[in-house]
Structure 1
């Protein structure tokens, strides 16, 4: 029998336009019981970006050939899981996070540092981070696993009765408040009877362009699709001084928010190139080099207004990137729960949303990591009827030497 329990690590990245309600999730307060360096976040900036570059090449596009992912969302979710991993599973997660050899505490310190740095309160930019853990009251986390999430990720921890119809409402209300109602729910009602816990990380951003686009300048213009055909889309227009980069492969522009502490970077492959060719150039090394090549120039940007919802299963992508044992019977998450059952990841999903307009950007991302506990299966009596062509070998078991092998399609009888 297979007993499946799900641990959903939901990481929500929300970027909102300059207009809207204020964040209700409150400020970030990392526990005074832990210490981290002010610049520890530098250890994970490049790894998180590199994860995104590699993930982009693995994720399947939607029916419109669009992809929209959040590497920060996935990185933080996997960093939380990392606290419960051991052995090969721990090494593989570290490899995917490009943080090989890093101690979980060091990774936690880097995430705490990053959350502290990202936490902003300004007229044009507001960025807050909130975390919570909702634990089935029939189970218990190991002290270190729960403590790390509480202390370094500032997670609110609450026990719930998963049979209580009010529990999913309680969780979803927290999500709505943390995201100013942009994401209304992360769990369905009723909760799965085998649910162990829901871990949620919410990042809220509200920002306006430093220079807003004039709505009167927005007009429908032809946009070329991958198949060579054209469709009319509303393009916003602005003449201004921008941080700009152009080479033989692409044009690139930086569109700042607020006082410039955050921005959107747009890369447009040249007509003699392609988006797929550009993706092959996306590496940490190239990205770092490009950032040094931007220069302030005067020019015009025409940028589409667009809205996109995207959903992808990242299980296959993470396996391709080297995180394999976490998904099978060799998974080692012995530092996660006190119970003796073996835990493995059953799926990783990410849902995203983005809306780009004249005033700013609105976006949301949810990363869910489902984890199951499996017990040893009970073998059913098997039936093997060799009534069709078959293959066979005669093997020396001590040396594993195959002495003979063959395939039989017509087992003729001796005369």
Structure 2
């Protein structure tokens, strides 16, 4: 890992038979590991207004991201723990699920995502463009997003659903023998591990033998800091988890020009730490004792307010070196956010199969974050940047020695790729 932050996210939706009625075991239409999306070298299909469609999703996805964050932050079992997830990946997975939803089931999914004013075509074409934009990798940054449909051997989804998953969500289909849960777990985890560069290897612990299908969405990001941290400046330091708890961390240090804003009215300091490429880590450091106030009120308007006021400043930045992961079972959270029918006997997924007894049984989510200081490829850029103006005698201090919020933003699509809260870098 060279001067990078790495993230992996998987959302899996397990669609199972909700009634005991047997299924007709027709020949399945998804050949094993059949790639359904258009070829890598084929021209990407275009639609008039692509940019408008993808940017039209952005404010709704941001609202969903903060609504979901507040739900997760309020869960009893995450109090005092780190939170990290990809709201965009979850939105993508639910939107792919909506391809096969009808009636009230579809309405609830779209309403919870904030898409009620949009047509299915607008949403699907918006995501088609988003996948295309996010799929550009560079030597200094790698961002991969994709989807898959794991289909039970003998189960035949509708061709339209498979084709739409391919066309709009870069979905690939492969067959799995879900009737043998232990074998199925191994195969699904093997697929996930491959797509996440072995950062997530055992996400799925068990599967119901009645599982008919699993929808998978994954996102992987690797970026090199535009201004790399020098390993010689990393020292042991205290991180104040709360009023009674201190932990020792490897605190990275760097002095350079960053976009920075000190927001006294919202009790926060904000810094944008850029990667080489078109992404940045936006860090919000609440004042001591003000994390809950910031969490309660934060929304997409705050991010826009801060972005509009960030100014290029000479900053002495201290950031802990850490690794963390989060795993959530999101079914109950999705129900609280309005997606109810999808999990019940009233679910209508007749856009996936003609069978009327399909429902969602689980929504699983896992994300991994690793932050370190290594990297040499940014040295020239740092030198060029730092000679553009005279150095102030005293840099502004920014020391992340207490809980902070973090956002990974993609500038080309104005999307929040990942977000979370680091409460304890050693946990």
TM-score by length of 1: 0.74
Cα deviation, 1:306-337, whole Å, max 9, x if unaligned, reads 21121222223222222223222332322221
1:256 is matched with 274
1:308 is matched with 324
Alpha-carbon distance, 1:188 to partner: 5.6
SS at match of 2:210: coil
**Can you list the C-alpha shifts for 1:316-369, whole angstroms capped at 9, x where unaligned?**
32222222232223323222212232x2223322122211111389x999xxxx
5 Å matches for 1:313-352?
313-341=329-357, 343-352=358-367
Find the counterpart in structure 1 of residue 59 from structure 2.
46
Of 111, 120, 140, which residue of structure 1 is paired with 2:136? 120
- The offset of 1:179, in angstroms, is 2.0
Superposition map of 1:403-414 within 5 A:
none
Q: What's 2:68 paired with? A: 55
Question: Could you tell me how far apart the structure 2 residues matched to 1:349 and 1:291 are?
Answer: 32
When the two structures are aligned, how many residues end up with a matched partner?
Answer: 341
Q: Is 1:53–1:282's contact at 8 Å kept on the other side of the alignment?
A: yes
**Structure 1 range deviating more: 290-299 or 141-150:** 141-150
- Within 1, Cα distance between the matches of 2:301 and 2:262? 18
Larger Rg over CA atoms: 1
Equivalent of residue 270 in structure 1, options 278, 287, 290 = 287
Are the aligned partners of 2:257 and 2:314 in contact in 1 as well (CA < 8 Å)? Answer: yes
Give ranges in structure 2 of 5+ residues lacking alignment: 1-17, 23-36, 376-405, 409-416, 419-427
State how far apart, in whole Å, the 2-side matches of 1:322 and 1:268 are.
31
Q: Whose helix proportion is higher, 1 or 2?
A: 2
Provide the rounded CA distance (Å) in 1 between the counterparts of 2:46 and 2:101: 21
Moved over 3 A (4+): 1-5, 25-38, 159-174, 185-189
The counterpart of 1:195, out of the listed 211, 223, 230, is 211
Indicate conservation of the 8 Å contact 1:142/1:336, yes or no. yes
Once the two structures are overlaid, the 10-residue window that deviates more, 244-253 or 308-317, is: 308-317
Q: Distance in 2 between matches of 1:168 and 1:348?
A: 15
Whole-angstrom CA distance in 1 between matches of 2:21 and 2:133: 38
Give the C-alpha shift of residue 55 in structure 1. Answer: 1.0
Distance 1:62 1:167, change over 3 A: closer
Q: Are the aligned partners of 2:50 and 2:125 in contact in 1 as well (CA < 8 Å)?
A: no
Q: Report the CA distance shift for 1:173/1:319 in structure 2 as closer, same or farther (over 3 A).
A: closer
Q: Which secondary structure state, in structure 2, belongs to the residue aligned with residue 292 of structure 1?
A: helix
Please, which runs of 5 or more residues in structure 1 have no aligned partner? Answer: 6-24, 366-415
Residues 254 and 182 of structure 1: CA distance in aligned 2, closer, same or farther (over 3 Å): same
- Tell me if structure 2 keeps the 8 A contact 1:254–1:264: yes
Greater RCO, CA 8 A, separation 6+:
2
2:196 to 164, 170, 179: 179
Contact 1:30–1:112 (CA under 8 A) maintained in structure 2: no
The answer on 1:69 being equivalent to 2:124 is: no
Note the alpha carbon deviations across 1:109-146, whole angstroms, 9 max, x for none.
11111011111221211222333222113222123222
Change (3 A) 1:77 1:245: same
CA distance in 1, matches of 2:317, 2:372: 14
On the 8 A contact 2:38/2:167 being kept in 1, the answer is: no
Judged with a 3 Å threshold, the aligned counterparts in structure 2 of structure 1 residues 202 and 37 are, in CA distance, closer, same or farther, namely: farther
Contact kept in structure 2, 1:85 and 1:334, CA below 8 Å: yes
Distance 2:126 2:152 in 1: 29
Contact kept? 1:62, 1:310, Cα under 8 Å = no
8 A Cα contact 2:270 2:306, kept in partner? no
Matches within 5 A, 1:149-298: 149-163=165-179, 169-187=186-204, 192-248=208-264, 249-259=267-277, 261-271=278-288, 273-298=289-314
Aligned-residue offset at 1:166: 6.5
Q: Report the CA distance between 1:64 and its aligned residue.
A: 4.0
Give the TM-score normalised by structure 2: 0.72
Aligned-pair CA distance for 1:254: 0.6
Q: Structure 1 residues 258 and 32 mapped into 2: Cα distance closer, same or farther (>3 Å)?
A: closer
Contact 1:218 1:235 in 2 (8 A): yes
**Contact map agreement 2:176 2:187 (CA 8 A) in 1:** no
8 Å contact 1:36–1:110 — kept in the other structure?
no
